[in-house]
Amino acid sequence: MTTAEPTSDPTSQPSTNGHVLDVTGLRKTYESEGVPVRALRGVDFQMAAGEFVAVMGPSGCGKSTLLNLVAGLDTATDGEIVLAGESLVGKDENDLARMRRRHIGIVFQFFNLLEGMSVLENVTLPAIIAGTPRREAEGRARDLLDLLGLADKAKNAPGVLSGGQRQRLAIARALANRPTLVLADEPTGALDSAGGLEVLELFRRLHSGGQAILLVTHDQKVADAASRVVRMRDGRIEGQDDDEAASVGASESTMGTTWEP
């Protein structure tokens, strides 16, 4: 184990003013059958290293659009996104993919697992794609599965896992490249309450290990675990609630502690 991992030592994160994410004046307008749809109408938002932020708001208010733009999966109409000190503006698809591999781990509502591969291969693959030698990638994947309580399933196909285990596997995969920021879009949305609790507990652990997490949810229990809740409406942020207790707990537990293998 080491305390020098990027995800476990907030001071080691490349940053602007200590932020892992700086969003300024972000706008996104889609064209739908010739009609402009203003999904984001000027969003300003920052995240410090190690923060766990939940984004809530009614369907259609722009939550997924915000996550997609931060992930570099789509480009903004206007505004700026600075991720780990590097601007996403003006980057071509190759550069965006490189930044995504380096800095972002994504968790989807419906897992997006590779069903034809084993549990271990699902977690090994992202690191291999990012250029990590196979042996090292596999060692790291085994450590992650161990940590996330899935070590005994390494050789199985994802199909044998419960919903909660499948999402834990998807989270292990998102962590494979030690991302600066984990993005999650409704990660408990497809799970029963036991599976939801399992996944919620895991996010809590990651947060107390210093992992920055930006998560979209409708689930108040998930939002309650976050250190900050950002409320969106009609393409704008309409308010933010801090949970001081959660933030203090997180900063205390990051000192000298790491969940990383």
Interface contacts to ligand ADP, rule CB under 6 A: 30, 32, 37, 39, 57, 59-65
Report the alpha-carbon distance of residue 188 to residue 167 in Å, rounded.
8
Nearer to ligand ADP, 2 or 32 (CB): 32
Quickly tell me which residue has 């059958």 as its tokens. Answer: 33
CB of 65 to ligand ADP, least distance (A): 3
Nearer to ligand ADP, 68 or 254 (CB): 68
Nearer to ligand ADP, 112 or 257 (CB): 112
Q: Which residues pair with 81 in a beta bridge?
A: 23
Alpha-helical regions (H) of the chain? 63-70, 93-103, 119-129, 134-147, 163-174, 193-208, 220-225, 244-254
CB of 103 to ligand ADP, least distance (A): 21
Is the distance from CB of 215 to CB of 52 less than 8 angstroms?
yes
- 70 phi and psi angles, rounded to 5 deg: -65, -35
CB of 169 to ligand ADP, least distance (A): 24
Nearer to ligand ADP, 38 or 142 (CB): 38
Nearer to ligand ADP, 57 or 209 (CB): 57
Report the alpha-carbon distance of residue 257 to residue 72 in Å, rounded.
31
Report the alpha-carbon distance of residue 134 to residue 122 in Å, rounded.
13
CB of 204 to ligand ADP, least distance (A): 24
Report the alpha-carbon distance of residue 224 to residue 118 in Å, rounded.
34
Helix (H, G, I), strand (E, B), or coil: what is residue 45? strand
CB of 29 to ligand ADP, least distance (A): 9
Q: Which residues pair with 242 in a beta bridge?
A: 228
CB of 28 to ligand ADP, least distance (A): 8
Nearest to 47 by CA among 260, 250, 196: 250
Nearer to ligand ADP, 63 or 173 (CB): 63
Instruction: Say what angle helices 119-129 and 134-147 make with each other, to 10 degrees.
Output: 130
Nearer to ligand ADP, 28 or 140 (CB): 28
CB of 33 to ligand ADP, least distance (A): 9
Pairing of strands 212-216, 86-87: unpaired
